[in-house]
């Protein structure tokens, strides 16, 4: 979806803070698809992804006052809300199922989804799938499943330094690949 921009980021933030309904709709029209894509990468189940997306836009609407433009772009801020919300949902789901560690590990090493939609072939996850195995597994755990680097070191029995180095090397690759 190619978007023709009407507002600058500064305008968007300012008008959202002024509680503009029109601008909120504009934000949804332009960014919902991009955020939906990352949520699908993590949640995989479409109905749940829609719920998360709705939740994410409510958070954006309520928390826009907390956005600090000196720390990064509006999209980066929204992307992080989407990612965190999706990971939270997956974790609570897995917690309910009481099979957190087992199922996560299976997903990672099988490299596929156990549910209806294969969301590995969309958005950022498609890029991550093209990385070397040793980098892919660690970035999957870190970015799409929300494990800290410490936790990953324990999970994989790799030294923390190695985990950091491989993740960073993978991200440099990722940076090259998403450059248009």
Partner 1 sequence: MDIREYIESGAIESYVLGLADAQEAAELELLSRQHPEIRDAIDAFEASLESHALAHAVPPPAGVKEKLIGELKDGFVVTDVITTAPVISVNRRTRYIAAAAVILLVVSAGLNIYFYNQFRDTRNQYQALLIQKNSLLAENNVMQARSLNMYEGMQMMSDPAVRKVSMSGAGTGVKERENNLATVFWDSKTKDVYLLGNKLPQAPAGKQYQLWAIVNGKPVDAGMMGDCQGLCRMKNITAASAFAITLEKAGGVAQPTLSELQVIGKV
Q: How many residues bind partner 1 (CB under 8 A)?
A: 68
Give me the 15-44 binding string for partner 1, x by CB under 8 A, dash otherwise.
x--xxxxxxxx--xxxxxxxxxxx-x----
Tell me which stretch binds partner 1 (CB under 8 A): 49-57, 92-100, 106-114.
49-57
Span between the terminal Cα atoms of the chain, in Å: 15
Residues 6+ apart with CB under 8 A from 47: none
Task: Characterise 157 by phi-psi region: left (phi > 0), alpha (psi -120 to 50), beta (else).
Answer: left
Residues 90-119 that bind partner 1 (CB under 8 A): none
130 binds partner 1 (CB under 8 A): no
Using the structure block, give the residue that is written with the tokens 């826009």: 64
Using the structure block, give the residue that is written with the tokens 């974790």: 91
4 binds partner 1 (CB under 8 A): no
- Cβ–Cβ contacts within 10 Å for residue 167, how many? 18
Q: Considering the complex, what minimum distance in angstroms separates the CB of residue 87 from partner 1?
A: 10
**30 versus 100: smaller Cβ distance to partner 1:** 30
Residue of 4, 65, 66, 70 that binds partner 1 (CB under 8 A): 70
**33 versus 102: smaller Cβ distance to partner 1:** 33
Tell me which stretch binds partner 1 (CB under 8 A): 66-74, 90-98, 99-107, 108-116.
66-74
Grouping H, G, I as helix, E, B as strand and the rest as coil, residue 27 is: helix
Torsion of CA 52, 141, 91, 151, to 10 degrees: -140
157 binds partner 1 (CB under 8 A): no
Cα 95 to Cα 27: distance, rounded to the nearest angstrom? 33
CA neighbor of 17 nearest in space, from 62, 78, 72, 71 = 62
> Which residues of the chain form contacts with partner 1 (CB under 8 A)?
1-3, 8-11, 14-15, 18-25, 28-38, 40, 46, 50, 53-54, 57-58, 61, 69-73, 75-76, 79-80, 83-84, 122-124, 126-127, 142-143, 148-150, 167-172, 174-175, 178-180
């Amino acid at each position: 979806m190619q978007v023709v921009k009407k507002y600058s980021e500064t305008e968007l933030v300012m008008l959202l803070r002024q509680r503009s309904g029109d601008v909120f709709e504009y934000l949804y029209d332009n960014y919902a698809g991009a955020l939906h894509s990352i949520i699908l990468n993590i949640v995989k189940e479409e109905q749940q992804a829609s719920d998360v997306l709705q939740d994410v836009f409510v958070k954006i609407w309520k928390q826009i006052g907390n956005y600090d433009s000196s720390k990064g772009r509006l999209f980066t801020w929204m992307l992080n809300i989407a990612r965190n919300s999706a990971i939270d949902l997956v974790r609570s789901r897995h917690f309910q199922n009481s099979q957190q560690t087992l199922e996560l590990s299976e997903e990672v090493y099988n490299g596929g989804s156990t549910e209806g939609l294969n969301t590995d072939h969309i958005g950022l996850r498609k890029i991550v799938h093209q990385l070397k195995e040793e980098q892919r597994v660690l970035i999957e755990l870190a970015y799409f499943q929300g494990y800290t680097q410490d936790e990953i070191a324990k999970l994989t029995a790799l030294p923390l330094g190695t985990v950091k180095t491989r993740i960073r090397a993978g991200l440099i690759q990722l940076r090259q690949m998403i450059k248009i």
